[in-house]
């Protein structure tokens, strides 16, 4: 029995390693392509050079597009966090008749085709005379990521201890003070998680941005797409490597923030104790 369990464990290790290699292989190919010596994207590369990294500084359109992506994603995440938290507060802590239908309505953008939403936004924002700029993209992307915020923050809010709010109310605190001093501090980890997921999702958004934006307001994914239509050099791979480094930096920064939160550390510690027991 012990030998069979050990053999099965090694089979799991091999399968997990194969899946990990399959996931990492495209990233490794991008990294190798970014240091290719040739003037076109070939694999395997003819030679290795860092020349394309030096030339990236001359591509000013990518820097502007990156800043546009950061601004649009940050604005959309901020708007979605505010709207999603308030919606979760109304649905979870102050339920009313029809709140389930309202929740389903707020969650509907998650299952809607993004190209359909993009066309709808193009028509709407054209009528409002704001199509073509980042403000329109922020409004559109905020609606798209609102379900993530509502789902994560709503789940955390449903698990809060109502006794804390009741104690604050007994001491004379009003609804606004209870929300900002009792409820909101307990939601900081869920807000961080929801904001991180929403930021990554909006940063890589293509369908909606492609229909709404005009030249001068292009985000980085659109700028990369337009560049690949004209050129096939490793510049796109270089930009992709820079984005991978940016994503890893963001991931580890969020991980450090989460590890520094006492509540999460206690939660993880209790989970480990339960496993040991």
- Which tens digits make up the pLDDT trace of 176-193? 888 888 888 888 888 988
pLDDT at 272: 43
Mean pLDDT of 100-129: 88
Angstrom distance (rounded) from CA 73 to CA 203: 6
Query: Has residue 264 got a pLDDT over 70?
Result: no
SS3 222: helix
Model confidence pLDDT, tens digit, residues 222-261: 888 888 888 777 888 888 888 888 888 888 887 777 777 6
What the chain holds in terms of domains, given with CATH numbers, is 61-219 (1.10.3720.10)
pLDDT at 261: 60
pTM summary value:
0.79
What is the DSSP code string of 75-86? Answer: HHHHHHHHHHHH
List the beta bridge partners of residue 236: none
Could you give the percent of the chain with pLDDT greater than 70? 88
First to last CA, the chain: 24
* Average pLDDT value over all residues in the chain: 82
Split at pLDDT 50, 70, 90, the class of 269 is very low
């Amino acid at each position: 029995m012990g030998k069979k369990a050990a053999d099965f464990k090694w089979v799991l290790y091999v399968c997990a390693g194969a899946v990990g290699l399959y996931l990492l292989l495209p990233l490794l190919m991008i990294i190798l392509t970014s240091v290719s010596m040739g003037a076109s994207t070939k694999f395997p590369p003819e030679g290795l050079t860092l020349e394309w990294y030096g030339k990236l500084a001359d591509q000013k359109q990518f820097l502007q597009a990156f800043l546009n992506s950061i601004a649009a994603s940050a604005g959309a995440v901020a708007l979605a966090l505010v709207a999603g938290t308030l919606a979760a507060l109304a649905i979870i802590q102050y339920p009313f008749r029809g709140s389930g239908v309202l929740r389903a309505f707020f969650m509907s953008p998650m299952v809607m085709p993004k190209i359909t939403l993009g066309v709808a936004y193009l028509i709407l924002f054209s009528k409002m005379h704001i199509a073509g700029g980042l403000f329109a993209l922020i409004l559109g992307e905020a609606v798209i990521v609102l379900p993530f915020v509502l789902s994560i923050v709503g789940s955390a809010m449903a698990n809060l201890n109502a006794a804390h709010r009741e104690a604050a109310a007994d001491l004379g605190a009003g609804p606004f003070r209870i929300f900002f001093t009792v409820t909101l501090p307990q939601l900081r980890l869920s807000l961080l998680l929801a904001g991180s997921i929403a930021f990554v999702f909006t940063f890589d958004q293509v369908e909606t941005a492609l229909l709404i934006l005009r030249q001068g307001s292009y985000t980085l994914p659109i700028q990369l797409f337009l560049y690949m239509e004209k050129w096939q050099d490793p510049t796109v791979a270089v930009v992709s490597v820079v984005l991978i480094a940016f994503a890893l930096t963001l991931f580890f920064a969020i991980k450090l923030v989460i590890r520094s939160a006492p509540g999460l550390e206690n939660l993880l510690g209790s989970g480990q104790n339960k496993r040991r027991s």
